[in-house]
Amino acid sequence: MNKKWITSAPYPADFGKKFSNLSPVALQLLYNRGLREAGEVEEFLVADFDKHVHDPFLFRDMKKAVERIFKAVDAKESVCIFGDYDADGVDAATILRTTLSLYGLSPRVYIPHRETEGYGLNSGAVEYIAHEGDTLLITCDCGISNAKEIAEAAEKGIDVIVTDHHAEPKVLPDRAVALIHPKLSHETYPCKNLSGGAVAFKVAQALLMTRPPLPQKETENFLKRLTELAAISLVADMVPLLGEARTLTKYGLIVLNKTTRVGLKKLFEVAGIKPGTIEAWSIGYQIAPRINAAGRMDHANAAFALLNAESEDEALRLALNLNAANAERQKATETLVGEAREQIIATNQEEAPAIILFDEHWPAGLVGLAAGKIVEEFNRPAFVLTKKNGTELIGSARSIPSFNIIVAMQKIPDAFLRFGGHPGAAGMSIAPEKFDAFKESFIAIAKAEMEGKDLTPSLAVDAELALSDIGWDVYTDLEKFAPHGMSNSKPRFLSRGLTVVSADQVGVGGKHLRLSVCQNGGEKKKCIAFRFGEEFKELKSGDRIDAVFEIENNEWNGRNELQLNIVDLTLTA
């Protein structure tokens, strides 16, 4: 779909005077990211672990949680960690298990099966945990929407500590011992954008502060090593990488590049990931998909086992299995998306305010990925559902920035058996007999919400730049903005009136476009435009274009050269 380019307004003069030591490009990028105060700017640019990682006891219920956990330690209670089946939940469970083991506990880890149990705590799991004799249950990346199940646990003598970060439901689990959740309306913790793994990290930090299990320096190093898992969860779950979340991700990437965790080392080896080059992109597109593949294709226990593997042989076997599962997942997702696209056309939903799809044969582990692909292609909120055990429909939803899908779902709570999520993504289960009513109600909500809105997909641009302004000084400034993620995407710039000096199709089947361009007869700049080869195969020397691009360092044979990675372009007269 053709995109509408939206260039950020220039920063005001008083902002420039306030931070006169920074370059115009850095100032514009900081302003675009909503950073206005000196403390925010320092935290963003410096991201110092010792200074910018908050006291975990700023969580209102953290003291209660820590006291209950140490009661379990002292009494040698049987403890269960209940994690979600994605990379965030698996990492969160690993963080807590690794930490609790330092105190002599051997917690049971329960990760539900995506297809047979679905998201969150369930009554069957509570029954099992009670039968095994566990008296303390700690949820990871879930639990805040499980008031009923937590009450059931309490009736069976199980205390529950909830660690979560999903949208606050109308009914909170009031029978829980503690709720460690940054987004609750009554919560005063300063950083709201933590992932489930990062929330688990805060619990680990609080435990280590209260009763250090090792000499001081070793305890500090242990905590810092946990940031690699927090970083994977933060990037994988696409939370805004600002504030403390950015600091944890930045430090976690340092640890990740020299990890000692044998499971991750073997995963990098089989996936062709080179330690020392790992960045946020590597997590989002190489590491997290392989961890997620376990829960999507079979059971997330395999991913948990990899992260906690102790022997190289076991780690290699698990890494190879996850790598294969990820390849299988890619093929199956492509098939599902093709079938979903056909259903959209057959049911005339291309221009619907919301796209709602169902097929009882679709794998439950892939419906979220398919929903994301549908949103990318049609720029509409999308639900993709399948059938679970023949008794209920389960699915995932994804949305566009201008439509808060979880708020919309909260307007029709009776349509769902269960639901939860974020403004841009949600999961749900629906009774089959309520599907048609749900579809009608939700489309009505979406239609009213988006009435009159321009649904043309947009592309955010940080600033307009002349090619003559692009040099190594600018690139050095841009490096300070890594790691990139939600709310801090890789900086994008716009240059107008570019003259094509040369244009060649490259890659298999000429899929990509290699360009050389200049502006007003000035110095030539090399460009690469991935996946633009076919659409612009007629592009030739002398043509004029406008282009949106990212600035990269192209390293080749020991040489460094600035290159423009074109994100979008258009021919001009």
Per DSSP, the residues of 429-490 read EE-GGGHHHHHHHHHHHHHHHHTT---S-EEEE-EE--GGG-SHHHHHHHHTTPSPBBTBPP
pLDDT computed for residue 420 by the predictor: 86
Whole-angstrom distance, CA of residue 24 vs CA of residue 6: 19
Whole-angstrom distance, CA of residue 407 vs CA of residue 426: 10
Give domain 347-450's CATH number out of 3.30.70.100, 3.30.70.260, 3.30.70.120, 3.10.310.30: 3.10.310.30
Tokens read off for 435: 């599907």
Q: Give residue 338's Cα distance to chain centre.
A: 24
pTM for the model stands at 0.91
Count the neighbouring beta carbons within 10 Å of the beta carbon of residue 101.
Answer: 13
What CATH number is given for 4-35+460-572 in this structure? Answer: 2.40.50.460
pLDDT computed for residue 1 by the predictor: 52
Cα angle, residue 277 at apex, residues 272 and 278 outer, rounded to 5°: 80
Same fold, 4-35+460-572 and 53-219: no
Whole-angstrom distance, CA of residue 65 vs CA of residue 336: 43
Whole-angstrom distance, CA of residue 37 vs CA of residue 129: 48
Cis check for the bond before 483: say yes or no (omega within 30 of 0).
yes
Q: What ranges do the domains of the chain cover?
A: 4-35+460-572, 53-219, 347-450
What CATH number is given for 53-219 in this structure? Answer: 3.90.1640.30
Count the neighbouring beta carbons within 10 Å of the beta carbon of residue 486.
Answer: 16
pLDDT in single tens digits along all 573 residues of the chain: 578 999 999 999 999 999 999 999 999 999 999 999 999 999 999 999 999 999 999 999 999 999 999 999 999 999 999 999 999 999 999 999 999 999 999 999 999 998 888 888 999 999 999 999 999 999 999 999 999 999 999 999 999 999 999 989 989 999 999 999 999 999 999 999 999 999 999 999 999 999 999 999 999 999 999 999 999 999 999 999 999 999 999 999 999 999 999 999 999 999 999 999 999 999 999 999 999 999 999 999 999 999 999 999 999 999 999 999 999 999 999 999 999 999 999 999 998 999 999 999 999 999 999 999 999 999 999 999 999 877 899 999 999 988 999 999 999 999 999 888 889 999 999 999 999 999 999 999 999 998 888 888 889 999 999 999 999 999 999 999 999 999 999 999 999 999 999 999 999 999 999 999 999 999 999 999 999 999 999 999 999 999 999 999 998 888 899 999 999 999 997
**Amino acid type, 281:** W
pLDDT computed for residue 540 by the predictor: 94
Site of tokens 């990488």: 241
- The pairing of strands 559-572 and 525-529 is parallel
pLDDT computed for residue 528 by the predictor: 96
Cα angle, residue 361 at apex, residues 358 and 365 outer, rounded to 5°: 85
